[in-house]
Chains A and B, each alone.
Chain A
């Protein structure tokens, strides 16, 4: 089962500011950097949570699948409510303590008197025509995750509330739908349209919303909305089962005649704690709305989120681009107010049929230039392997700025010729970063590389290629004496290429060698330059290396000590040859490691 997804909020003032700030931004957007601007002692506003419970989630999932399969075959089974009356009772079974028991049922099965935890034999006795399906909690979880992704369109702060539920933190989001009631209605409508039975309730704490959604019948027909401050009264009518205590404690409460929360709500918390455990009063307080702890959303909310909710789905490319441009302008404004620049921009496209596509671009320097980011997004969209398919259109487009960094406001439109020279150089560097970003958006970040030096005498380790975005200045590059010719090749093979060497000269290098079926006569050579492996890196493998006089392992000529020669053939081509192993080795093998210009 999943872990408890409700976690305590961080203590102290930071949490209060966090909450306050989140509420102030309209779609849960927050800037940590702006926290300090809030006045001390400000009380955070009450939060609002919408709990959804899908009581027949497995059955609904199966019907959706059967429905979509049947529609493809010609539509024998329809998923509409009217046709459900004739369907056989559907139950999901799993072995529990050695017996097949029901773990979930369909509405028809419920109507036939079947309940979860009944044995399958009892169920068959009650309803002979039974459709029995093995329970698949993994598929249910996957479906719930998809639902969560889809419901992210309403609020960025939402979490799965096991079993078979979701909690949406709609604080500060409700006005986007025109108020709390229309928002709840929209959420419910979305779930109903997906073919799901849903109970929903809106309250001031996640636990209260959850209890109301799961333990009141009123939440079934329409969203149950508890007005602000009415939590205590609304939850007082709930049965004590809403506390979701263990079997034994629940029975104890029942025996004591405490049937509803109203019966215990006013009792002394000390005596309750001594009777039902230390956690009991806190649990009660949370359900009755006296204590608020936040949900832990699946993903932390990005620093800046901007939405376009569309009354009509859009499918045309130019409309999507225009919407994106508008979103980017808004984001730029908001980032500028916060003195920040974005490093990662994600555009999320919500399709009417619940599919979500995300496209992300990264930049190397913080920016908030809408034209630049728009260009990068267009490049990325153009380079997608499977193009963005609008289907029947997108009904919501969202822009998230995933990562930000401080970026000072800049004077725009200053002519370059009155800037000092250092600014021109900086502008040049900015251009290069921009170019790298564009090329990375088009070809992929691993295609735009920079050479980074590393402090090693081994050629294959001395210079590494890293994506330009991640490149960092390390140790400097080597300096060559003016009169010396290059000592390292221009091209280096990742895997040294074996050559067939003949006629060893007295100095040890071959006088002729064959590489790639071409014979090369050596005209000049310089060497050997001996490079030993870095023992401090290869120490663990040292035990496995063969003795010195044996030739090194064919696959790993780079593991051995190497003698390098710069060799020039009669045509003037220059090679970097090496021989692994000790000079005294009987059968010397030769490799080309690089090519000189």
Chain B
């Protein structure tokens, strides 16, 4: 529903062929009956462009300001020409489930060795959703010991301004959840990332439900990275497993941009479980669908 409204507003609804022009693995929304009239679409597009400019002018105008700036509304046709499909940016406008929504809890599960990948995926979304607002990263001490502490230069390289980051160290999972819940109550916060290590009893359905409610109330996105824990049911809007993926190599066989293999396990919006290879583009602050080598 939300996606439909967003796409109507932006006027990027494909007029010919509809969703079939789009790269296939994306779960598609059923919204073709809401196609606006061509003339109305043009007017809407102009209004929308105007609105985007106005929203972009305010410092914390909206969650997807950057998305609007980076992707000026296309006049007609499919958003992504077929020849760019391999490196196409996924976005909210596609209704892509991997475009994590604000105001919700998202569970990201990862194995021990994929902790950095899960953090990278979470950091990418945090950059995208926070759009300049502060990010609170609640860090389990255990995760800090096992993976090393977050490094300022590495964060800056990913595109997350370390000055906008507040790190909270917690010794135990209850402390961690308490701190995250407290942070998520402040709607000045853009995103709260939780890094929990191990299968913790404290991270149960009740805790998950509390976080989900707080997120829904304040509009803050909570990304719960659960390392060394098996995927478990919870109140999250979407549940994922994240693994590191081989990057597209650069010249001279140098490792490329961060790449992730993300598997959707459950989505309350109804998207079907699937796996994508995504690549983080720190310059455009967006995820692109990448081809694994």
Contacts and interface: CB of A to CB of B under 8 A. Distances in A.
A423 B7 CA distance: 32
Given A448-B166, A450-B166, A597-B117, A570 B157 contact: no
Interface residues on B, range: 35 or more
A572 B154 contact: no
Given A459-B151, A525-B253, A477 B186 contact: no
A491 B247 contact: no
Interface in A414-472: 421-422, 424-425, 427-429, 431-432, 434-436, 438-439, 442-443, 446-453, 459, 462-465, 468
A483 interface: yes
A439 B249 contact: no
Contact of A439 (B158, B182, B260): B182
A597 B280 contact: yes
Given A435-B186, A450-B165, A572-B247, A491 B116 contact: yes
Given A424-B60, A463-B162, A482-B283, A525 B255 contact: yes
A491 B154 contact: yes
A595 B148 contact: yes
Nearest to A571: B244
Contact of B150 (A434, A447, A491, A572): A491
A480 B157 contact: yes
Contact of B158 (A449, A465, A525, A597): A597
Given A480-B282, A490-B155, A567 B119 contact: no
Specify the main secondary structure of chain A where it touches its partner: mixed
A573 B168 contact: no
Contact of A488 (B147, B154, B187, B254): B154
Contacts of A410: none
A451 B256 CA distance: 26
A368 interface: no
B148 A477 contact: no
Contacts of A449: 166-169
A424 B260 CA distance: 36
Interface string B72-109: 00000000000000000000000000000000000000
Contacts of B252: 526
Interface string B100-138: 000000000000011111011101000000000110100
B250 A485 contact: yes
Contacts of B167: 448-451, 465
A374 B244 CA distance: 46
B6 to A, nearest CB: 23
Interface residues on A, range: 35 or more
Contacts of A319: none
A422 B57 CA distance: 11
B188 A490 contact: no
B71 to A, nearest CB: 16
25 contacts: A431-B188, A439-B183, A443-B170, A447-B170, A451-B162, A451-B165, A478-B153, A480-B156, A482-B284, A483-B283, A485-B250, A485-B258, A488-B153, A493-B148, A524-B254, A525-B255, A526-B255, A566-B255, A568-B255, A572-B117, A572-B259, A572-B261, A573-B117, A596-B255, A597-B116
Interface of B: 57-60, 113-117, 119-121, 123, 133-134, 136, 147-158, 161-163, 165-170, 175, 178-179, 182-183, 186-189, 243-247, 249-250, 252-261, 280, 282-284, 292
Q: 7 tightest A-B contacts by CB?
A: A597-B120, A463-B152, A482-B283, A486-B157, A526-B254, A428-B188, A491-B148
